[in-house]
Amino acid sequence: MSARESHKTAGFVLRLLHYGESDLIVTFYSSDFGKLKGIAKGAKRSKKRFANVFEPFSLTNIIFTRKSRDMLAFIESCEIIEHYDIVRRDLEKTLTASYFIELADHFCPEGKKNEKIFDLLQTFLALLGTGKASDALVRFFEMRLLKFAGFEPALDHCISCKAPIANGSSYYFHAREGGIKCASCAKPERYDQPISAGTVRTLLMGKDMDIDKIKLIALTDSLALESRNLLVGFISHVLNREVKSLKVMEQVRKFCT
Amino acid sequence: MKAYAQPIKRLIAELAKLPGIGEKTAARLSNYILRATEDDVRKLAESIIEVKRRIKLCRICLNPTEDDTCYICQDKTRDQEIICVVEEPDALAAIEESGVYHGTYHVLHGALAPLDGIGPENLRLNELLLRIGSGLIKEIILATNPNVHGEATALLITRMLQEKNIKITRIAMGVPMGGDLKYIDKMTISKSLEFRRGM
Ligand SMILES: [Zn+2]
Ligand SMILES: [Zn+2]
């Protein structure tokens, strides 16, 4: 039997699973190991060893051991780096942060390091702390996550005739083919929703825009709706599952109006 | 598990479904049941069935009760103008044990948990709104747990009630009694400073 190796990394808490009488199985998104699953022995009883750390989207310092890469990590200790207290004080921000980490969880396979996704979470959670939980922020997070996870939709040209985006034109998104088509290639049905060139350009811009500029962007209602339908539709097509936090977010909005 | 006879396996599997019970404890409990007298075992089984048959939720506060309304809601000496909102009946029981609270309660039977898909529709919020709609209520105390889910639930209720003329308060968060500051986490310390009081 090989000796357990000890590791240290920073990680966001993605998910918790109650295991037996006193243990928790925690899924993290870590900077050095990508998505990482570990068992915290006695976490439900010992408030001292794991005080207040296993809360959704908290950033923690994890020390763990494991025998091999494909085995459950044994969490020796876990300390808080950032609670995102400002996010937790605001319902919309809490819901948005939950959505971010749920997407990161669904899009990332276990054990595959991707520093860009770790940085993306850190950057966007920080943005949530300093600014509003705006539509633009959510959409640009989705665009970037799709890109880093290898599912970037083709938005800069028609996927059939390859013609680049032209101002004033309408486009149609084809989730199955992962991109947009111009009106003449798409042959839309009556119920197909067109997308304006403005929406497409905004999403393309948001994908690479400077972080400090994101908070300055406010989407018009029609732009927000179009880009939401496009990205949420595409994400649910790619994942082929319900995104729970999105459902809750929409329930809350309905409930509070 | 392999070594056990089929009925014992089944009992262990059923017990292991209970919260906080792992397979080891389930095996220990089943061993106890196996050795107990038939009379004791019958009492246990009957009490489980009786709970299911006789207990329903209080029409007013949703606390489990045998009657239409629970003993707290029936008690006319309690302050009917204050509602303390809790996630689960065990939180209500804990507050009652303290003996300092003399208002009424409302049990949500859950907390907002976006990642588990638990939204407002899964909580008993409409019943709370109905009680508030009666116009009798002057204060709502939000006693949901001091974690992300409980906090989000408190924020949700605050938002729901913001246009109503009701005082909304949140239980204090901070250093536990008998605690030692050097062992307390950052978040709790900062909350205790934020919610400090004059002496
Ligand atoms: Zn085309
Ligand atoms: Zn009652």
Handedness of CA B69, B51, B95, A20 (dihedral sign): negative
Residues A236 and A165 in one domain: yes
Residues A62 and A116 in one domain: no
Dist. CA A77–CA A61, nearest whole Å: 8
Q: Which fold has domain B79-179?
A: Dna Topoisomerase Vi A Subunit; Chain: A, domain 2 (3.40.1360)
Q: Cβ neighbours of residue B46 under 8 Å, at least 6 residues apart?
A: none
CATH architecture of B6-52: Orthogonal Bundle (1.10)
**Total number of domains constituting chain A:** 2
Whether B114 sits inside 8 A of A95 (CB atoms) is: yes
∠ CA B185-B191-B194 to the nearest 5 degrees?
A: 145
**Residue range(s) defining the domain that contains residue A141:** 86-255
CA of B62 to the centre of ligand 2 (A): 6
Instruction: Label residue A50 by pLDDT band (50, 70, 90).
Output: confident
Nearest to B119 among A19, A20, A247 (CB): A247
Question: Over the range A178-202, which residues count as b (16 or more CB within 10 Å of their CB) and which as e?
Answer: bbbbbeebbeeeeeeeebbbbbbeb
Which three-class secondary structure state does DSSP give residue B121?
helix
Instruction: Label residue A1 by pLDDT band (50, 70, 90).
Output: very low
User: CATH number of the domain that A68 lies in?
Assistant: 2.40.50.140
Q: What are phi and psi of A16, to 5 degrees?
A: -125, 145
Check pLDDT > 90 for residue B199.
no
Nearest to A91 among B156, B185, B187 (CB): B156
Residues A74 and A99 in one domain: no
Check pLDDT > 60 for residue B8.
yes
Check pLDDT > 90 for residue B32.
yes
Check pLDDT > 50 for residue B129.
yes
Q: Say which residue the tokens 């009379």 belong to.
A: B39
Q: In this predicted model, what pLDDT tens digit does every residue of A20-46 receive, in sequence order?
A: 778 999 999 999 999 999 999 988 876
Check pLDDT > 80 for residue B79.
yes
Handedness of CA A104, A32, A154, A128 (dihedral sign): positive
Residues A207 and A242 in one domain: yes
Residues of A with CB under 8 A from a CB of B: 15, 18-22, 44, 48, 51-53, 55-57, 80, 83, 85, 88-91, 94-95, 98-99, 101-102, 242, 244-245, 247-249, 251-252, 255-256
pLDDT at A47 (0 to 100) = 66
Dist. CA B31–CA A146, nearest whole Å: 53
ipTM: 0.91
Task: Write down the pTM of the prediction.
Answer: 0.89
Residue ending a domain, among A57, A82, A107, is: A82
Dist. CA B113–CA A56, nearest whole Å: 10
Residues A143 and A221 in one domain: yes
Domain layout of chain B by residue ranges: 6-52, 79-179
Residues A70 and A97 in one domain: no
Check pLDDT > 80 for residue A51.
no
Residues A59 and A166 in one domain: no
How much is the mean pLDDT over chain B?
92
Q: What percent of chain A stands above pLDDT 70?
A: 98
Whether B183 sits inside 8 A of A55 (CB atoms) is: no
Q: In this predicted model, what pLDDT tens digit does every residue of A224-239 receive, in sequence order?
A: 999 999 999 999 999 9
Residues A227 and A199 in one domain: yes
Q: What residues of chain B lie within 8 A of the CB of A98, using their CB? A: 114-115
Give mean pLDDT, residues A124-139. Answer: 95
Whether A244 sits inside 8 A of B147 (CB atoms) is: no
Whether B187 sits inside 8 A of A56 (CB atoms) is: no
Residues A30 and A121 in one domain: no
Whether A88 sits inside 8 A of B120 (CB atoms) is: no
Residue ending a domain, among A82, A101, A135, is: A82
Give mean pLDDT, residues A115-131. Answer: 96
Give mean pLDDT, residues A38-65. Answer: 88
User: CATH number of the domain that A208 lies in?
Assistant: 1.20.1440.120
